[in-house]
Amino acid sequence: MKHIFKTIIKTSILFLAILLFNGCETTDLEVKDSPNGVKPSAADTDLFLNAIQLRLADFITGLEGSGFKGMSEIGMEAVRMTHGFGPSYRELNDPGDFNQVWGTAYSSILADIRSMTPISIENGQFTHVAIAQIIESYVMMTLVDFFGDVPYTEAIYGTEGNFNPKADSGASIYEAVDLLLIDAISNLNKEEFSSPKLDLYFNGNENKWEKLANTLRLKLHLQQKLVNQSTSVSIINTLINGNILILDSADDFQFQYSANSSAPDSRHPYFEKNFGGSGPSSGFYFSNYYMNLLANNYSTADPRTRYYFYRQVSNFSDASVVTKECSTQNKPSYYSAEDVFCTVPNTNGFDGFWGRDHLDNDGIPPDDQYRTLFGAYPVGGPFDDDSDRNVSGSDAPDEGFLGAGISPIMLSSFTNFMLAEAALTLGTTGSAGTYLENGIRTSISKTTNFGLDLAVASFIPSPSYIDNYVAEVMTAYNMGSDNIKLKIIAEQYFIALWGNGIEAYNTYRRTGQPNDLQPAHDLSDPGVFVRSHWYPAAAADNNKNITQKSDVTTPIFWDKNPEGFVD
């Protein structure tokens, strides 16, 4: 027996010796750091700032190559700039549709900001800190605008084990965001030790960032005008007097995409989804209401029409039960005489605007070659020169600016429309009419300048055409009641907002204008308008402190408008 155990021990020692000599990697239990990433201590603040800036664009405009809808698209669908499926407002969106914006906002943008900021402060990189603060405030105010109460003070504490961050009230987040913007401005005015290596928005111009911060404060307080009017008035007046606002196109806050189609695809996501070469995305029918607003609201079409939309057909001769089922149906009785139904009428010489009615829930017919698609502005598509080409086929990726479009986030025209609304409804400094006209003209010139290289000379609106158009709008404005005035401001803001559904969705709920949006296609009563969206499934399903809403009728804290205010 003894002998045996000796042998066992000897053999075991031999075995261990073989292992130690030959295969110590076999018994090494310390392989714990992943070779598929780098250690967090290797983080670089400039690379963080790039991530934060890029993800902001994703948050707003979505991401190519996937079903990732950005905030803008979600907003545009509700207010009839683009078409949303229904048939009711409950079904306009699914809680799962918001997982990506939610994830981008928190686990990308905010998480990176929380990691970058302490290092940047230590490094004395105050511009990094300020840019992050401005972006954080934009993201948080947008989340409040769409979802209501959302986590903020307890957000990004996963590393501390808080997996159920409670939601803060929208009002308290607005308050915190306002302070954050003020702090950002003070950080911009500090002497930094090193500037960002790359700034995709303002190329490191701190003055422009300061203008943005002030303009966001303007937006924030205009938004709250129904909650605390006097504060809104005084702050807006202070901002106007300070005159550090985005009022010049050169200061526009926008994200510039490029024509680079792969590794990585850096084109405008809407371009990729519509001109990718495999047919336009079913998510991008344009609203008949919105196209009609541009084409037929006045006696001449809006000068931006050819830049915004590209018509693949010049009329509706191909509309049939197959390609456009509604063309065989009667206009529902609950549509008013002014409401467009199914097709956009040819009043001002634009025929063939092939879009969809609000909340039309039908399947996708074979109409790729008929649908009206994006034009040059802002996604970088083709300019509508009446050529009526099929731009939905496999050659589509070569259209227009090849997708080198922009995502308009906060433009000088937007500031003017906000100031117009403030002057009209709050009596803040300045003339509402002047702001309105400035807004229209700034937007028209931005659009036409943007599309200049693509536009065919004969279709470029002449200065007199533009003047006449503006004059007609201003006449209608000047002659109208306050309500009509507000409607015209909102309509013109909607037009200038093409590509940005965030401000349109906010404006509609804040002002109730334009009050003649198209009714739902399938249902006379599609339910209460989306006063706030479902909580993202990612939050409602995983965070015990967030309970899914029972419907989409709960207004945001700043929306004190009555039930049934908008539909």
Partner 1 sequence: MKTKFTMILTLFMALIVQTTFAQEKTVSGIVSDENGLPLIGTTVLIVGSSSGTTTDFDGRYAIKAKTGDVLSYSYVGYSTQNITVGASNTIDTSLQPDNTLDEVVVTAQGIKREKKSLGYAVTTLKSEKIEQKSEGDIARVLNGKIAGVNITSSNGLSGSSTNIIIRGYSSVTQSNQPLFIVDGVPFDSGTNGQSNFLDGSTESSRFLDLDPNSIASVSVLKGLSATVLYGSRGGNGVILITTKNSGTKNSVKKTEVSINQSLFLSNAILPKYQDNYGGGFHQGFGFFFSNWGPRFDRTDDDGIGNAAQYTGNDSSNGNAILSHPFNYIGDQTLVSGFDDVRNQPYEYKPYNGVEEFFRTGVVKSTSINIKGGSDKTSFNANYGRLEDEGITPGNKLSRNTFSIGGSSVLSNKFTVSGVFNFSRTKYISPPNAASFGSGTGFDGAGVFGDLLYTPRSVDLSNIPFQALDGRSLYYRSGNDIQNPYWTVNNAFTTQNTDRFFGSTNLSYALNDWSNITYRLGLDSYTELNSYGQNRGGVDGEVTGIFRTISARNTIWDHSVIWNANKDLSDDLNLQVIAGINSRRDTYEQDGIESTGQLVFGTLKHFNFTTSSSKNSFRNADDNDIAFNSESNQVGIYASIGLGYKDYLFLNLAARNDWYSTLETENNSILYPGASVSFIPTSFAESIKGDVLNYLKIRAGYGTSAKAPLAFNTRNVLGINARDLVTTDGTVVSSNSVSNTLGNPDLKPEKISEIEFGIDSRLFNRLTLNLSVYEKTTQNLITNRTLDNATGFNSTLVNIGEMQSKGLEIEYDLNIIKPVENGFSFNLSGNFNANETTVTELAEGTDNIILTSSVIGEAANYAVEGEAFGVLLGTTILRNDQGEKVVGNNGQYLTNNTPTIIGDPNPDWTTSLIPNISYKGFRLSAQLQYRHGGDIYSTTAASLIGRGVVDADDPICRECNYILPGVKQDGTPNDIAITATNVGFQTYSGGPNELSIFDGSTIRLQEVSLSYNFSNAVLSKTPFGSLSMSISGNNLWYKALNFHGDLNYDTNASSTGVGNGQGIDFITGPSARRYGFSIKATF
198-257: contacts with partner 1 (CB under 8 A): 198, 200, 256
Q: What are phi and psi of 147, to 5 degrees?
A: -115, -15
Could you give the CA distance from residue 454 to residue 457 in angstroms, rounded to a whole number?
Answer: 9
Pick one of 79, 291, 538, 566: the residue that binds partner 1 (CB under 8 A).
538
Q: Contact between 403 and partner 1 (CB under 8 A)?
A: no
Could you give the CA distance from residue 521 to residue 527 in angstroms, rounded to a whole number?
Answer: 13
**Look-up: residue for tokens 């308050």?**
175
Could you give the CA distance from residue 496 to residue 479 in angstroms, rounded to a whole number?
Answer: 22
Pick one of 169, 228, 266, 347: the residue that binds partner 1 (CB under 8 A).
266
Give the nearest distance from C-beta 386 to partner 1 in angstroms. Answer: 18
Pick one of 172, 369, 429, 468: the residue that binds partner 1 (CB under 8 A).
369
Residue with smaller CB distance to partner 1, 264 or 562:
264
Residue with smaller CB distance to partner 1, 124 or 365:
365
Q: Contact between 151 and partner 1 (CB under 8 A)?
A: yes
Pick one of 2, 21, 39, 330: the residue that binds partner 1 (CB under 8 A).
39
SS3 category, 341 = strand
Q: Could you tell me which stretch among 126-134, 148-156, 286-294, 447-455 binds partner 1 (CB under 8 A)?
A: 148-156
Could you give the CA distance from residue 144 to residue 175 in angstroms, rounded to a whole number?
Answer: 12
Contact mark string toward partner 1, 66..85, x via CB under 8 A: -x------------------
Give the nearest distance from C-beta 134 to partner 1 in angstroms. Answer: 18
CA 435 to chain centre: 24
Q: Contact between 7 and partner 1 (CB under 8 A)?
A: yes
SS3 category, 476 = helix
Residue with smaller CB distance to partner 1, 25 or 191:
25
Which H or E run includes 254?
A: strand 253-256
Residues 434-463 that bind partner 1 (CB under 8 A): none
Give the nearest distance from C-beta 4 to partner 1 in angstroms. Answer: 5
Q: Contact between 118 and partner 1 (CB under 8 A)?
A: no
Does residue 243 contact residue 415 with C-beta atoms inside 8 Å? no
Could you give the CA distance from residue 359 to residue 87 in angstroms, rounded to a whole number?
Answer: 5
Could you give the CA distance from residue 555 to residue 567 in angstroms, rounded to a whole number?
Answer: 13
Give the nearest distance from C-beta 259 to partner 1 in angstroms. Answer: 7
Residue 500 half-sphere exposure toward CB, CA atoms < 13 A: 23
Which H or E run includes 167?
A: strand 167-168
Q: Could you tell me which stretch among 14-22, 348-356, 436-444, 445-453 binds partner 1 (CB under 8 A)?
A: 14-22
Q: Contact between 263 and partner 1 (CB under 8 A)?
A: yes
Pick one of 62, 70, 84, 103: the residue that binds partner 1 (CB under 8 A).
103
Give the nearest distance from C-beta 291 to partner 1 in angstroms. Answer: 21
Residue with smaller CB distance to partner 1, 441 or 549:
549
Residue with smaller CB distance to partner 1, 12 or 314:
12
Q: Could you tell me which stretch among 107-115, 242-250, 426-434, 466-474 binds partner 1 (CB under 8 A)?
A: 107-115
Q: Among candidates 442, 492, 517, 435, which has minimal Cα distance to 302?
A: 492
Distant-in-sequence, close-in-space partners of 173: CB < 8 Å, separation ≥ 6: 140, 141, 143, 144, 150, 152
Pick one of 62, 165, 303, 355: the residue that binds partner 1 (CB under 8 A).
165
Q: Contact between 398 and partner 1 (CB under 8 A)?
A: no
In angstroms and rounded to an integer, the radius of gyration of the C-alpha atoms of the chain is 27
Q: What are phi and psi of 374, to 5 degrees?
A: -65, 145
Determine if residue 123 is left, alpha or beta; phi over 0 gives left, psi from -120 to 50 gives alpha, anything else beta: alpha
Q: Contact between 119 and partner 1 (CB under 8 A)?
A: no
Q: Contact between 404 and partner 1 (CB under 8 A)?
A: yes
Residue 344 half-sphere exposure toward CB, CA atoms < 13 A: 28
Residues 306-365 that bind partner 1 (CB under 8 A): 320-323, 325, 361, 363, 365
Q: Contact between 262 and partner 1 (CB under 8 A)?
A: yes
Could you give the CA distance from residue 209 to residue 211 in angstroms, rounded to a whole number?
Answer: 5
Could you give the CA distance from residue 435 to residue 125 in angstroms, rounded to a whole number?
Answer: 37
Q: Among candidates 438, 436, 467, which has minimal Cα distance to 300?
A: 467
Q: Contact between 465 and partner 1 (CB under 8 A)?
A: no
Could you give the CA distance from residue 562 to residue 207 in angstroms, rounded to a whole number?
Answer: 40
Binding residues with partner 1: total (CB under 8 A): 119
Pick one of 89, 102, 341, 354: the residue that binds partner 1 (CB under 8 A).
102
Q: Contact between 159 and partner 1 (CB under 8 A)?
A: yes
DSSP state of 519: P
Q: Among candidates 315, 304, 458, which has minimal Cα distance to 376?
A: 304
Q: Contact between 114 and partner 1 (CB under 8 A)?
A: yes
Q: Could you tell me which stretch among 183-191, 390-398, 411-419, 554-562 binds partner 1 (CB under 8 A)?
A: 390-398
Residues 40-59 that bind partner 1 (CB under 8 A): 40, 42-44, 47-48, 50-51, 54-55
Could you give the CA distance from residue 357 to residue 86 in angstroms, rounded to a whole number?
Answer: 10
Looking at residue 367, its amino acid is D
Pick one of 2, 21, 34, 250: the residue that binds partner 1 (CB under 8 A).
34
Give the nearest distance from C-beta 393 to partner 1 in angstroms. Answer: 4
Residue with smaller CB distance to partner 1, 27 or 336:
27
Q: Contact between 479 and partner 1 (CB under 8 A)?
A: no
Q: Contact between 26 and partner 1 (CB under 8 A)?
A: yes
Could you give the CA distance from residue 353 to residue 123 in angstroms, rounded to a whole number?
Answer: 55
Pick one of 21, 32, 243, 317: the residue that binds partner 1 (CB under 8 A).
32
Which H or E run includes 410?
A: strand 406-410
Structure-block tokens of residue 473: 């709008």
SS3 category, 54 = helix
Give the nearest distance from C-beta 403 to partner 1 in angstroms. Answer: 11
Give the nearest distance from C-beta 96 to partner 1 in angstroms. Answer: 4
CA 157 to chain centre: 27
Residue with smaller CB distance to partner 1, 281 or 434:
281
Give the nearest distance from C-beta 284 to partner 1 in angstroms. Answer: 14
